[in-house]
Amino acid sequence: EVQLVESGGGLAQPGRSLRLSCGASGFSFDDFAMHWVRQVPGKGLEWVAGIGWNSGSIGYADSVRGRFTISRDNAKKSLYLQMNSLRADDTALYFCVKDMVGYYGDHRGWYFDLWGRGTLVAVSS
């Protein structure tokens, strides 16, 4: 079955860290760029970070740059998001998302054709 399954969410105190993971199955993971997108409760979607197929290109939203790190392990068919210095406004449902192509960060992007169900991150003291 073609799917993405996120894990690693939970409750964290402000200033602490969490690491999200995403396992891919049913497609050739190392052929595609991947992304993290989040949804604040009751709000819309926000793109967080993207990574190319070989980790050669990476990008971040301004709101997380310098605090979050996206990475991937193609041998394990896994995507990661290391979240440091967490803030209350990082509270959200985090989705792992597959790109249509392998590269990220070119002049123009592509749409996203596969999403996971998400993992919930709550940041509170």
Partner 1 sequence: DIVMTQSPDSLAVSLGERATINCKSSQSVLYSSNNRNYLAWYQHKPGQPPKLLIYWASTRASGVPDRFSGSGSGTDFTLTISSLQAEDVAVYYCHQYYSTLYTFGQGTKLEIK
Using CB under 8 A, list all residues that contact partner 1. 4, 35, 37, 43-47, 50, 59, 61, 95, 104-106, 108-118
Supply the Cα-derived Rg of the chain in whole angstroms.
14
Instruction: Write down the least CB distance from residue 97 to partner 1, Å.
Output: 8
User: Which of residues 87 and 117 has its CB atom nearest to partner 1 in the complex?
Assistant: 117
Instruction: Write down the least CB distance from residue 122 to partner 1, Å.
Output: 18
User: Which of residues 12 and 38 has its CB atom nearest to partner 1 in the complex?
Assistant: 38
Rounded Cα gap, residues 53 and 58, in angstroms: 10
Per DSSP, the three-state class of 17 is coil
φ/ψ bin of 29: left (φ > 0), alpha (ψ from -120 to 50), beta (otherwise): alpha
